[in-house]
Amino acid sequence: MDFFLQPWSWFFSGLLIAITMLVLLLMGKRFGMSSNLRTFCTICGAGKFSTFFRFNWKQDNWNLFVVLGAVIGGFLASNFLSNGKIPDISQSTKEGLKQIQFSTENNYLPKELFSIEALQNPKTIILLIIGGLLIGFGARYAGGCTSGHAIFGLSNLQRPSLIAVIGFFIGGLIMIHLIFPLIF
């Protein structure tokens, strides 16, 4: 049981991801989380309003199990496999968060952004809405999300995925070093 209660090495987790990608490739399937949003919208009837949502979603319903597995796996890992400890973040990250007056007691989830109290602040609501729209637009414009491009697209040596991943990294660096300090 101790094996499950400690963080796994990057190479073991990477090997599991590689095996999953190989199996999907051999089955002729494509991996990506954002494609599930299109499937959900189609199931809910969005095809009545846009041709983009008119497709046979049943041939991609296996991917819905990926979302379900991610939710269930996250719940199980958080509630039963974590020993109640949140992995620590680096000291330099803690110092950077303190400089912009963010708490470090919850490590990856600062209460200034990830709490019910934060949702009472109109600035937080506006940031969440704008961020959600930008992420949704970006994933649609790039033809997939970071997981789809970085894991599946790169493993298939797809040039558009390489360009998208480079763009994701550049955008992330610009956000964290230039825009984030201006917002907070």
Residue 144 lies in a domain: no
Residue 81 lies in a domain: yes
> How many domains does one find in the chain?
1
Residue 26 lies in a domain: yes
User: Which H helix or E strand runs over 19?
Assistant: helix 10-27
The pLDDT of residue 32 is: 74
**37: domain range?**
1-85
The pLDDT of residue 174 is: 93
Q: For residues 115-137, b (16+ Cβ closer than 10 Å) or e, as one string? A: eeebeeeeebeeeeeeeeeeeee
Residue 167 lies in a domain: no
User: Which H helix or E strand runs over 83?
Assistant: none
Span 112-119, average pLDDT: 83
Residue 133 lies in a domain: no
pTM greater than 0.75 (yes/no):
no
**Which of these, 129, 161, 124, 121, lies nearest to 145 by C-alpha position?**
161
User: Which H helix or E strand runs over 27?
Assistant: helix 10-27
Helices (H), 28-158: 35-43, 62-80, 91-99, 122-141, 146-147, 154-155
Residue 113 lies in a domain: no
DSSP letters spanning 125-152? HHHHHHHHHHHHHHHHHTTS-HHIIIII
CA 37 – CA 20 distance, rounded (Å) = 21
State what percent of residues in the chain have pLDDT above 90: 6
Residue 106 lies in a domain: no
Segment 11-30, tens digit of pLDDT: 888 898 889 888 888 888 87
- Number of neighbours of residue 176 by Cβ within 10 angstroms: 11
Contact yes or no for 146/168 (Cβ under 8 A) = yes
pLDDT at 50 over 80: yes
Residue 71 lies in a domain: yes
